[in-house]
Amino acid sequence: MQTAQSTIDPTEVAKFEAMAAEWWDPNGKFKPLHMLNPCRLDYITTQIAAEFDRDLTGEAPFQGLRLLDIGCGGGLLSEPMARLGADVVGADAAPRNIPVAQVHAAQSGLDIDYRHTTAEDLAAAGERFDAVLNMEVVEHVPDPLAYLTACHALLRPGGLHICSTINRNPKSFAMAIVGAEYVMRWLPKGTHEWSKFITPDELIALLGQAGLDPVDRKGFLFNPVTWQWRLSDRDLSVNYVTTSLRPA
């Protein structure tokens, strides 16, 4: 088993820890995630419902499912999953994010198990989940393969892994770094490093090497006129998301 330090970059952790108090400000430094959240939630809930034969129109459709939100931040994904009935563990390597998430969950009347820990430590402790959400994290770790291998270990056979990240090409540099950090100033300068971005083909290969079976991938497209995001079957040129299974 890899040690926790193998997939944790202290510099990356420090970036997000410095922004911890702003997680739930829709106009703050995490504004891009607040804007993207409805679109990615639609993708996540649809994938989970299809895999586990759940009716999203019913009450607490994810009841009985144990779900891990790795890199949970302030809980922007953990809370909707808990509202849908899932037993949620939210994990983050930045210690200051955890109390922010805990306080907000308590204010919202939600019971979420937030922990300052890593994927490796959870796997070493024998934790297992029906689904692992791995959203906008893999581009911040120094060893993506070791990290994804730990995510594989955290899944029960037949479990679902959903991973989103940013493509690496001139368009993603222009939009995710120049546009988001320098022009719109949605994120502090230096939040992302273009060299750490991962192309869809690279991610699919890494998932396969980690023992996961990729079954779907889609792009997230931003409309600058409506200021809304939508899913695309074809355009994965900037933000994109994948779904994989741990073979039963």
Categorize the per-residue pLDDT at 224 as very low, low, confident or very high, splitting at 50, 70 and 90.
Answer: confident
Neighbours of 4 (CB within 10 A): 16
Residue 167 has pLDDT above 90, yes or no: yes
**Annotated binding residues:** 40, 71, 92, 135
Residue 19 has pLDDT above 70, yes or no: no
**pLDDT tens per residue across span 78-96:** 999 999 999 999 999 988 8
Report yes or no: 136 and 39 within 8 Å, Cβ to Cβ: no
Give the pLDDT mean for 42-51. Answer: 98
Which ranges in the chain belong to alpha helices (H)?
A: 10-17, 31-52, 78-83, 97-107, 119-124, 144-153, 170-172, 200-209
Q: What is the pLDDT, as a whole number, of residue 4?
A: 44
Alpha-carbon distance of 197 to 234, in angstroms, equals: 19
Q: What is the pLDDT, as a whole number, of residue 178?
A: 62
What element of type H or E holds 244?
strand 239-245
Q: What is the pLDDT, as a whole number, of residue 195?
A: 75
List strand residue ranges (DSSP E) for 140-227, in order.
Answer: 155-166, 213-223
**Annotated binding residues for S-adenosyl-L-methionine:** 40, 71, 92, 135
